[in-house]
Structure 1
């Protein structure tokens, strides 16, 4: 899934202070905050609900009808979720076969371009057909959404981590 960049929250710090003294003395640390599948379900649900609402508003702001905007936003969200699961599964299978391990800047750039290129290849024709616009106009819409989603994803991840604490993988 996406990389999350944030700092520890006061809630996470407070929660970590409530870890039993037995676990502190044994040397093991328990992750604090929301973790596991529940974290992922809440993350995806909140992220996509907000994304659908804002995408609908963006489509309406550029002159599309409210109903058509809402349907496109839901369709784009469903496509993004499915593409995310499929693309990341395939990328990780490819990555596991590589002799050089780790995620360099180049590998992250390739991942981002592959993900965004794939979703654009699906959404641009769909938006052109649904909104009855040219492929060029749909590509411009997609470019606008791409810029929005880069900023939104950063802000959402930061806020989510502040509210729910860092995932176990990011706790020290």
Structure 2
């Protein structure tokens, strides 16, 4: 089980790299000013950072309960990424529509584009993160640091 310090490092590094990629790609892809995409991206990243922290704790606890360990196989990595992005989609859809002054349908399409980007990005980031900062299969369950 990962420590709180490790979870914070994971969440912050994930969001910083994601923002650096998403703003220029979103601006080009949607034909909008980078500043507007930047505001939406940074707000969504803030929401995502908080969601990431709590979601990963809940997912790890579920993995421990179901499998007895937190090491993920490829299928579990896909499930992990998809569920994370679905939760984030629900949280960010109103933000996109309100700030950019677009319809909910347009916001949904934009949000889905970001979800697709972040779905692939999350899978790759988490795979690499686990290689760089591995969790041993023999680690005993350690409650999150207080």
Question: Which TM-score bucket, shorter chain as reference?
Answer: 0.5 to 0.7
1:45 and 2:12 aligned:
yes
**8 Å contact from structure 1 (residues 60, 66) kept in 2:** yes
1:69 and 2:10 aligned:
no
The residue that corresponds to 2:86 in the other structure is 117
Gaps of 5+ in 1: 2-34
Instruction: Count how many residue pairs are aligned between Structure 1 and Structure 2.
Output: 131
**Distance of 1:45 and 1:112 partners within structure 2:** 17
Larger radius of gyration: 1
1:85 and 2:58 aligned:
no
Higher RCO (CA < 8 A, seq sep 6+): 1
Alpha carbons of structure 1 residues 130 and 49: separation in structure 2 relative to 1, 3 Å: same
The residue that corresponds to 1:128 in the other structure is 97
TM-score (norm 1): 0.59
TM-score (norm 2): 0.67
**Distance of 1:90 and 1:45 partners within structure 2:** 18
Alpha carbons of structure 1 residues 118 and 167: separation in structure 2 relative to 1, 3 Å: same
1:140 and 2:109 aligned:
yes
**Distance of 1:46 and 1:88 partners within structure 2:** 15
The residue that corresponds to 2:22 in the other structure is 55
